[in-house]
Structure 1
Amino acid sequence: MQRICVIGGSRYVGKLLVQRLLAAGHQVTVINRGSTPPPPGVEHLVADRDDETALTAALGSRTFDAVVDQVCYTPVQAAIAARAFRARTARYVMTSTIEVYDPATAALPAVPHGTPVPEDVVDPAAWLVRMDLPWHDATYLESHYAEGKRQAEAVLTREGGFAFASVRSAHVLGGGAREFTGRLAHYTGRIGRGAEIAVHAGALPTVFIHHEELADLLLWAAVATEFTGPLNACSDELLDVRGLVAVIAARTGREPVYRTVAAGEAASPFSFDRHYAMSNARAKDLGFAFSRTTDWLPGAVAEALDASTAQAA
């Protein structure tokens, strides 16, 4: 049994992670602002992670074998966490994102076209941190999501005083009505209505991960391995937007209607005109086995369709 702290943990992947940690026999503490109570058997600390004094007070004298941070979006939040947990945990795992590799949001080292992106393309140990940017502004943060994650990784890498790992998640799907992005519901709805799907002329492939697989990987990263640094988390198999839509269309029994957008024009979710599909080779070398996207995607689509039908009833 290990003592695990989850920051966030009230919805979707975080909630599932807490359930898995409990089922595996670990002692779990959840820290959030109290909007949703954790399941029975979980210690609940109510605190705003942005308030360092309140967070430190809530933690008291507690120590942990590992912390999993589901909701770290800025270097300011990372710096507060680094100070608060420096003497309280030996291991800190932050959930990050594929968006750190998006060439539209930063000047990144060139990767041969079509080559899945490895972790060292974004090195948090060398990334510039700007604490003076308006990270407290919700509008700024939304438009600088990728940069906030890059800088948060950088702060925890350099200032934590604990073994730090960041899990860079692919686009997460699955969960039916619980899927917080609503992107599968977007496609099932549009295909069902015969509405147009806007795509780039040469839409490039990306990578996905099922929400249950991501929860499994986060548990593994927290308690079953000692790797440090960034780790890409994505199911095997690259898929472009047309491949994704084909799976959804097969389940709905309707043919998709496409509209090709001009360069620079907004397109439907997961239609990308730039390459940043990730490589999961490092995680495999460390011992984690991934599923194939097309093995779980039909089931995720079926869940989304069932949820849509239930909501309409």
Structure 2
Amino acid sequence: MQRICVIGGSRYFGKLLVERLQAAGHRVTVVNRGSAPPPAGVEHLVADRNDEAALTAALGSRGFDTVVDQVCYTPAQAAIAARAFAGRTRRYVMTSTIEVYDPATATLPTVPMGTPVPEGTVDPAGWQVSLDLPWHDDGYRAAHYAEGKRQAEAVLTRAGGVAFTAVRSAHVLGGGAREFTGRLAHYTERIAEGRPISVHPGALPTVFIHHEELAELLLWAAAADFTGPVNACSDGLLDAHGLVAAVAARVGREPVLRTVQPGEEASPFSYDRHYAMSNARAKELGFRFSRTADWLPGAVAEALAAAPSPTP
């Protein structure tokens, strides 16, 4: 049994992670702004993680074996966390993202086209950090999501005194209504209604992970002792055309595709650039992944079941 603190953990795979940590016998503390209570038996601390004084006061004299940070989006948030949890934990796990590898948002080392990128493609130990940018502004933060995650990883990597790992998650699917991004619903609803799906010509593949598998990987990472970034994605590349085919097979209707022009916005998960991840490191460390092709039909079925009924 370990004492584990989860920052966030109020929805989607974060909520599932809290449930699984508790089921595994760990003593769990959740820190969030109070928008949703954790399960019975889980300690709940209400604090805004952007307010260092409030966060420190809420933590009191508590110490933890591991902190799992589900909602760290900027270097400013990472710096606050590093100070607030200094001396309180031996391990810090941050949920990061595949977007750190997006070549559209940063100059990255060249990887041969079609080669899933390894973790070393983005090394947080050497990434430049700029704390004076307007990270507090919601619009700026959303527009610079990938860079915020890269810099947050960099801050926590350099914090010292703690074993740090960043779990770089692939695109998360599954969970029906719990999948709040609406990206899979975009496909199910459009195909069901006969509306077009916009795709890039020669759309390139990416990688995905089921929300339950990501929760399981975070559970595993929380109790492990490795450090450094680790990619989290199910086996098997998938492009927008493959996703459309999987959805259409469940919907039972032929999809309507529309090819976008250069610079035009496409449907979610249609990419004109390559940044699929390699999960080789996680496998070497002992985690076993499922295959996207095995769980995707069930995820599509869940999305269909969660769709609102058509208006008469």
- 1:228 corresponds to 2:223: no
Matched with 1:285 is 284
Displacement of 1:276 in angstroms is 0.3
Matched with 1:200 is 200
Is the contact made by 1:97 and 1:149 (CA closer than 8 Å) also made in structure 2? yes
Matched with 1:80 is 80
Q: TM-score, normalised by structure 2?
A: 0.99
Structure 2 CA distance for aligned equivalents of residues 260 and 163 of structure 1: 46
Is the contact made by 1:82 and 1:161 (CA closer than 8 Å) also made in structure 2? no
Is the contact made by 1:163 and 1:228 (CA closer than 8 Å) also made in structure 2? yes
Q: Which amino acid aligns with 1:231?
A: V
- Secondary structure in structure 2 of the residue aligned to 1:65: strand
After TM superposition, list the pairs within 5 Å mapping 1:147-162 onto structure 2: 147-162=147-162
Q: Which amino acid aligns with 2:169?
A: S
Q: Which amino acid aligns with 1:289?
A: R
Matched with 2:60 is 60
| RMSD value, Cα | 1.0
The list of structure 1 runs, each at least 4 consecutive aligned residues, that deviate by more than 4 angstroms after superposition, is 309-313
Structure 2 CA distance for aligned equivalents of residues 160 and 200 of structure 1: 43
Matched with 1:256 is 255
- 1:70 corresponds to 2:70: yes
Displacement of 1:180 in angstroms is 1.2
Is the contact made by 1:30 and 1:42 (CA closer than 8 Å) also made in structure 2? yes
Matched with 1:127 is 127
Cα deviation per residue 1:266-307 (whole Å; 9 max; x = unaligned)? 100000000000000000000000000010000000001111
After TM superposition, list the pairs within 5 Å mapping 1:1-313 onto structure 2: 1-223=1-223, 225-308=224-307
- Secondary structure in structure 2 of the residue aligned to 1:54: helix
Is the contact made by 1:173 and 1:184 (CA closer than 8 Å) also made in structure 2? yes
Displacement of 1:37 in angstroms is 0.6
Q: Which amino acid aligns with 1:253?
A: G
Is the contact made by 1:83 and 1:160 (CA closer than 8 Å) also made in structure 2? no
Residues 1:312 and 1:98: Cα distance change in structure 2 (over 3 Å): farther
Residues 1:311 and 1:216: Cα distance change in structure 2 (over 3 Å): farther
Displacement of 1:51 in angstroms is 0.5
- Secondary structure in structure 1 of the residue aligned to 2:303: helix
Structure 1 CA distance for aligned equivalents of residues 84 and 269 of structure 2: 37
Structure 2 CA distance for aligned equivalents of residues 204 and 13 of structure 1: 26
Structure 2 CA distance for aligned equivalents of residues 268 and 89 of structure 1: 41
Structure 2 CA distance for aligned equivalents of residues 294 and 126 of structure 1: 36
Cα deviation per residue 1:250-279 (whole Å; 9 max; x = unaligned)? 000001111111111110000000000000
Structure 1 CA distance for aligned equivalents of residues 137 and 25 of structure 2: 40
Structure 2 CA distance for aligned equivalents of residues 185 and 129 of structure 1: 36
Is the contact made by 1:206 and 1:278 (CA closer than 8 Å) also made in structure 2? yes
Structure 1 CA distance for aligned equivalents of residues 246 and 233 of structure 2: 18
- Secondary structure in structure 2 of the residue aligned to 1:86: coil
Cα deviation per residue 1:155-195 (whole Å; 9 max; x = unaligned)? 00001420000000000000101101111111110000111
Structure 1 CA distance for aligned equivalents of residues 68 and 302 of structure 2: 28
Cα deviation per residue 1:60-84 (whole Å; 9 max; x = unaligned)? 0000000000000000000000011
Is the contact made by 1:170 and 1:207 (CA closer than 8 Å) also made in structure 2? yes
Residues 1:285 and 1:273: Cα distance change in structure 2 (over 3 Å): same
Which segments of 5 or more consecutive residues in structure 2 lack a partner in the other structure? none
Structure 2 CA distance for aligned equivalents of residues 140 and 267 of structure 1: 22
Displacement of 1:312 in angstroms is 6.5
Structure 1 CA distance for aligned equivalents of residues 35 and 260 of structure 2: 41
Structure 1 vs Structure 2: percent identity of aligned residues? 79
Q: Which amino acid aligns with 1:226?
A: D
- Secondary structure in structure 2 of the residue aligned to 1:94: strand
